[in-house]
Structure 1
Amino acid sequence: MAQEKPNIILLYADDISARELPIYGSTVWSPPKGGNTSDPQYQAKTPVLNQLAEEGCYIKTAWAATVCGPSRAMMMTGRYAHLHKWWHNSDKGKAPIGKGVWNLYDSSPHSIANVAKAGGYATFWAGKTQMNIEGFQFDEACFTPGEGSYNTAIHTTDFRLETRKVDGKKKIFNADTNREIHKKSYVQSGWYWKPHVQLMNYPGTNKELVWWPNTKKAEKDFGLNTFGPDVELDFIFDFMERKQKEKEPFFVYHTSHLGHDAWDFLNPDSGNKWPGTPKISWDGNKYICLKPNVTGDNGVYDTHGTVTKSGIHNHVNYLDYQVWQYMNKLKELGIENNTIFIFCADNGTSGYGKSSPVSQKGTHVPLIIYAPGMNLTKKGMQDVLVNMSDMLPTIADIANVEIPDSYEINGESLIPFLTTDKKTHREWIYGYHKETQIVRGNLVLKDGNNVWYDVSETPEDLISFPKITDWNKVSEAHRKERDNLLKTILKFNIHETEHDAPVNGIEKVEPLTLKK
């Protein structure tokens, strides 16, 4: 019997501002060292995402938080920091017992995975986590890097920056070269080339978590030519194939590292910000990927011209290639018209917007929704306001799941806007950066520095809105929207007074149910 509910794929890219995608029409984007450029050679080329955005739709102004941890918390819970307490990567509320970070699945038991599961979906998580994983209802996963691998020796790979004590002082060493690094960095495992990969509940394994490669064949094939984003997609496609055979709808939460800067293990002395990807080319109809050929050891490598130079534009290009692979796999499985594909990102680009409270530099991200079998009433660019918290209630609507009225959700489902003649989605959007709040409507924006902007028109760089210094020089509608926004965000402004989890945690919540 054929499934009734559509499959859902949510591709959540890392540290990519809306301006990095050509469809957003920005005159400025990021060069290989970070910052700003208008040099065409550093602009991404995304023919597939362009097509999906035009045949489906894309949102002109979608917001996340300013940095990854709080944004992922918003995505996973559909809530803001006043509830989940993840104010910033380095500023997270303590658990009720006063020790450790409050887990998202404890603060917000109706997570995005739990919602999908309640709707009858098989669930898969691939890529980056940045959080404890035990309490989310994902059936399977492929984590890159593997959980707990940041300072762990794994026999298949030494692409790892680790802390060592030298003369009583902690220093960071490259385990591959066995040399101390002097460029500013942090402890990290490789998630691009020769990556640290861990599988969760993979069929045929008798452990909840296993390191990959976990077979003799996989270990033989694994090495310098293994690219982490490719591994993720291989396991995602394996999962999709199995679930399609079982006629079970699936939810894939693909939290790609692509877009995130990292230590370039293939070029350890280069100072590269974004490691290269396998070289790809678009011939107008299809992508061709050059098979990687990397040789060497101990920090001295030759890519033989098969790996791109550094730059976020190459990461965005490779995401476009992976989206093309997704579309081909959906067609191969015969489910292209029964799958909803969502592409978005967690915060602004590193070296430009990431962790910035200025204007909407840190919060403005791309959002593309492609659902050919859903009969969307909206096509192409939509000049509406959307928040990453909206994804959870949207998925709940798709899955026909009822979220109890007593359980606070800050997001709003996009389904009424996408499938009816509704003209707008929401009146305001919200972000946060530590103790500061960022909010905007259709006319005004308040950033994390309490600077106000007139956003009634969009500048060419998507960011240089005129500042409002004299409220008598703007319209009454501007002033009224300002007053409404300030009233709206009052309830969220509790960083100083209710920073941590409630002493006794949260009260028992009503369960999720299917809509009647």
Structure 2
Amino acid sequence: MALLFASLTFGAAIAAERPNIIMLFADDISAREIPAYGSSTWSNPDSEDSNDLQYRAVTPALDQLAKEGCLIKNAWGATVCSPSRAMMMTGRYAHIHKWWHNGDIGKTKTKNGKFTQWTLYDSSPLQIGHIAQQAGYGTYWAGKTQMPGDLTKYGFDEGCFTPGNLEDTDNPFTDFKMYEKKVDGKKLLFNSDTDKQIDSYKQHGWYWAPHVRLMNREGKETFSWWPDDEESKKNFGLNTYGPDVELDFIFEYMERQRKEDKPFFIYHTSHLGHDAFDWFFPEINTKWPGAPIVKWDGEKYTRTEPNVTGDNGVYDTHDSITGPGIHNHVNYLDYQVWLYRNKLRELGIEDNTVFIFCADNGTSGYGKASPEKQKGTHIPMIIYAPGMVKHGPQDVLANLSDFLPTIADLVGVKIPDDYEINGESLVPFLFTDKPTHRDWIYAYRGDQQLIRGTKVMKDGYDKWFDVSKEPADLISFPEIKDWNSVGETHRAEREMLEKILPKFDVYEEAHDAPGVIVPPELNLTKAQKNAKNKKPNQKKNKKND
């Protein structure tokens, strides 16, 4: 009862304070890539396991954030991008919103009888952006959306998007595009910058010379391309870096909100961490293109101004950007965390802003889309909030679904009792002496289910593992083949977890929107369609995830 009272008291206090909230949501970054997690293994530029320190990220800002805030040691998303984002934005699992896997999304039926993807705002009308808006917050969404449909319906007042899908062909400011055309009856992919055929997945550029589309820009149409004035057009070019553009617009929005003394919620879905085609080196199969060079001198970061020249696929970077590798993306994210915290101090709101750093799923080539153990699901999650009592690494369980109720508690919005969510608010754990957060966490990949507690874990292949001790590489858990070899607490937890799964195991009987019956052939995944047509599957990690 005392714990409940403490939580309710905090909820009332935080609602009165109206804290700003910033969520920096990285892309395809396993917990093991963040040094604060202490893994003995990380990914090298070829996406291989490595313990070579030259490929380990250096993250002083995140290290400080984890020390002053709270690092959740065992946080899970889904195994891949879209389902993880759906889980986080809605606080719900796929049995409700039907985002089972990339390319495997439940359908609904339109008024004219056509079957189409069930949009997230139709399946789940109360999302993180909507909750912040209900509380009177200004809301801003920047970066990658990964959401189809009308982006104005997701609960965000304004946005700065760096889209990468091939539908955005009308951008007049960059040649970093791809297009498809048929050659000898086969559909092939070409680089618009060189008009040469390429072996990659469909995408446009979101890093260098990026595609930037603004939402609800003052004086513009609902969606408009950027650059959009004389100065930005003059400065836009090869040295324009998408993550910088996103942060510039975010900071401009924060300044406006601060000037009007209004709270804000920033949802920053960075591309950093995601592999991409390297437009500067189109003949080289680079997985993670280079980033601007940043260096930490023990007190502050310095950034080298990029100096890239050339055209039509022939470029010289003049050694002004890094080489390839996910560690360079993590380093740049750390630089942006440092910039965020400096900006909060500049605006005088550091003591009234909650800062969250996390990612959607595991690293490409290591865990992304994998249902094996927790390779695809184990993500970083670091939370800083003024007044919190938990600091440093916390050996507890958390799920991306927990953010919706957490944000609701922080902004003082009550979720209706009859609106089902699957997340649990982190507020009681973060701000009281409550010792644990959740008893179990859950994830999915299509019809495969993953679940873990503090003792045991079941992966998507229905294998069970002993997770009572953390291995050095964060993944080499021993498989349990003989249940007599483990203690009674392990067996009891397995029994508990097995009783939870049936509620969410509805892939076969309730794959689509309620009441919608879809012909089986319309629900084939891309891989199933390829197999049916006797076409080879795409190469590993070549999906636009």
Instruction: Give the AA of the match of 1:145.
Output: P
Aligned with residue 474 of structure 1, among 467, 477, 486: 486
CA distance in structure 1 between the partners assigned to 2:281 and 2:70 by the alignment: 39
Do the aligned residues in 1 keep the contact of 2:238 with 2:308 (CA within 8 Å)? yes
CA distance in structure 2 between the partners assigned to 1:248 and 1:17 by the alignment: 35
Q: CA deviation at 1:168?
A: 3.0
What SS does structure 2 have at the residue aligned with 1:189?
coil
Q: CA deviation at 1:461?
A: 0.3
- What is the match of residue 216 of structure 2? 201
CA distance in structure 2 between the partners assigned to 1:54 and 1:96 by the alignment: 49
Q: Deviations over 1:374-407 (max 9, x none)?
A: x111010000000000001000000100001100
- What is the match of residue 406 of structure 2? 394
Q: CA deviation at 1:83?
A: 0.3
- TM, length-normalised to structure 2: 0.90
Q: CA deviation at 1:167?
A: 3.0
Instruction: Give the AA of the match of 2:227.
Output: P
Aligned with residue 101 of structure 1, among 107, 117, 128: 117
Do the aligned residues in 2 keep the contact of 1:150 with 1:160 (CA within 8 Å)? no
Aligned ranges for residues 215-294 of structure 1 at < 5 Å? 215-294=229-308
CA distance in structure 1 between the partners assigned to 2:16 and 2:299 by the alignment: 31
Aligned ranges for residues 87-98 of structure 1 at < 5 Å? 87-97=100-110
What SS does structure 2 have at the residue aligned with 1:188?
coil
CA distance in structure 2 between the partners assigned to 1:204 and 1:149 by the alignment: 27
User: Is the aligned partner of 1:355 residue 2:379?
Assistant: no
Identify which range, 165-174 or 454-463, moves more after superposition.
165-174
CA distance in structure 2 between the partners assigned to 1:216 and 1:150 by the alignment: 26
Aligned with residue 126 of structure 2, among 110, 120, 140: 110
- TM, length-normalised to structure 1: 0.95
- What is the match of residue 99 of structure 2? 86
Aligned ranges for residues 40-439 of structure 1 at < 5 Å? 40-97=53-110, 99-132=115-148, 133-145=151-163, 150=167, 152-181=169-198, 183=199, 185-205=200-220, 207-371=221-385, 373=386, 375-439=387-451
CA distance in structure 2 between the partners assigned to 1:115 and 1:489 by the alignment: 28
Number of residue-to-residue matches in the alignment: 498
What SS does structure 1 have at the residue aligned with 2:47?
coil
- What is the match of residue 462 of structure 2? 450
- What is the match of residue 9 of structure 2? none
CA distance in structure 1 between the partners assigned to 2:179 and 2:45 by the alignment: 25
What SS does structure 1 have at the residue aligned with 2:107?
coil
Instruction: Give the AA of the match of 2:161.
Output: F
What SS does structure 1 have at the residue aligned with 2:470?
coil
Instruction: Give the AA of the match of 1:208.
Output: T
Q: CA deviation at 1:459?
A: 0.4
Aligned with residue 45 of structure 2, among 32, 36, 40: 32
Instruction: Give the AA of the match of 1:233.
Output: L
What SS does structure 2 have at the residue aligned with 1:238?
helix
Q: CA deviation at 1:202?
A: 1.4
Q: CA deviation at 1:4?
A: 2.9
Do the aligned residues in 1 keep the contact of 2:166 with 2:202 (CA within 8 Å)? no
- What is the match of residue 4 of structure 2? none
Provide structure 2 residue ranges, at least 5 long, that are not aligned to the other structure: 1-14, 518-545
CA distance in structure 2 between the partners assigned to 1:150 and 1:407 by the alignment: 35
Aligned with residue 497 of structure 2, among 477, 485, 490: 485
Aligned-pair RMSD on alpha carbons? Answer: 1.3
What SS does structure 1 have at the residue aligned with 2:423?
coil
CA distance in structure 1 between the partners assigned to 2:257 and 2:219 by the alignment: 16
What SS does structure 2 have at the residue aligned with 1:418?
helix
Instruction: Give the AA of the match of 1:269.
Output: E
- What is the match of residue 511 of structure 1? none
Do the aligned residues in 2 keep the contact of 1:150 with 1:188 (CA within 8 Å)? no
- What is the match of residue 532 of structure 2? none
CA distance in structure 1 between the partners assigned to 2:39 and 2:77 by the alignment: 19
CA distance in structure 1 between the partners assigned to 2:226 and 2:173 by the alignment: 9
Instruction: Give the AA of the match of 1:378.
Output: K
What SS does structure 2 have at the residue aligned with 1:134?
helix
Do the aligned residues in 2 keep the contact of 1:160 with 1:189 (CA within 8 Å)? yes
Do the aligned residues in 2 keep the contact of 1:96 with 1:503 (CA within 8 Å)? no
CA distance in structure 2 between the partners assigned to 1:195 and 1:3 by the alignment: 40
CA distance in structure 2 between the partners assigned to 1:434 and 1:137 by the alignment: 27
CA distance in structure 1 between the partners assigned to 2:152 and 2:246 by the alignment: 20
CA distance in structure 1 between the partners assigned to 2:115 and 2:411 by the alignment: 36
Q: CA deviation at 1:153?
A: 3.9
CA distance in structure 2 between the partners assigned to 1:402 and 1:194 by the alignment: 43
Q: CA deviation at 1:65?
A: 0.3
CA distance in structure 2 between the partners assigned to 1:241 and 1:450 by the alignment: 50
Instruction: Give the AA of the match of 1:494.
Output: V
Distance 1:150 1:265, change over 3 A: farther
CA distance in structure 1 between the partners assigned to 2:441 and 2:174 by the alignment: 43
What SS does structure 1 have at the residue aligned with 2:49?
coil
What SS does structure 2 have at the residue aligned with 1:402?
coil
CA distance in structure 2 between the partners assigned to 1:248 and 1:4 by the alignment: 11
Identify which range, 282-291 or 95-104, moves more after superposition.
95-104
Q: Deviations over 1:395-447 (max 9, x none)?
A: 00001000011000000000000000000000000011111000000000000
Instruction: Give the AA of the match of 1:143.
Output: F
Q: CA deviation at 1:149?
A: 5.1
Aligned ranges for residues 457-468 of structure 1 at < 5 Å? 457-468=469-480
CA distance in structure 2 between the partners assigned to 1:151 and 1:166 by the alignment: 23
Do the aligned residues in 1 keep the contact of 2:108 with 2:516 (CA within 8 Å)? no
Q: CA deviation at 1:504?
A: 6.8
CA distance in structure 2 between the partners assigned to 1:210 and 1:261 by the alignment: 26
Moved over 3 A (4+): 148-151
CA distance in structure 1 between the partners assigned to 2:264 and 2:502 by the alignment: 38
Do the aligned residues in 2 keep the contact of 1:439 with 1:485 (CA within 8 Å)? yes
Provide structure 1 residue ranges, at least 5 long, that are not aligned to the other structure: 506-516
